[in-house]
Amino acid sequence: MQEVLVIILFLAAAIYMGRKLYKQYKAESGCASGCDSCAPPKKEIKLPGHLKP
């Protein structure tokens, strides 16, 4: 029973990693979706007048 559980977990991990690699190489923009390694766009923050230095 333990061997079956280990095999199932190993296959699930292998499928997960294979899917991530497939998405990475299939992506048109050069970045896989959901990787969080791309820098977010810079957002302008406007401070109220009383908080400006």
Beta strands in 10-53 (DSSP E): none
Give me the domain span that covers residue 27: 2-48
Average pLDDT over residues 35-50: 71
Task: Establish if 7 belongs to a structural domain.
Answer: yes
Residue at 25 is within a domain: yes
Please give the residue that has the higher pLDDT: either 36 or 51. 51
Residue 34's Cα: distance from chain center in Å?
3
- When pLDDT is cut at 50, 70 and 90, the band that residue 52 belongs to is confident
> What does each C-alpha distance from 4 to 1, 8, 10, 45 come to in angstroms?
5, 6, 10, 54
pTM attached to this predicted model: 0.50
Q: Please write the tens of the pLDDT for every residue from 15-41.
A: 999 998 888 777 665 555 555 566 666
The residue count for the chain: 53
Number of domains in the chain: 1
What per-residue confidence (pLDDT) applies to 30? 54
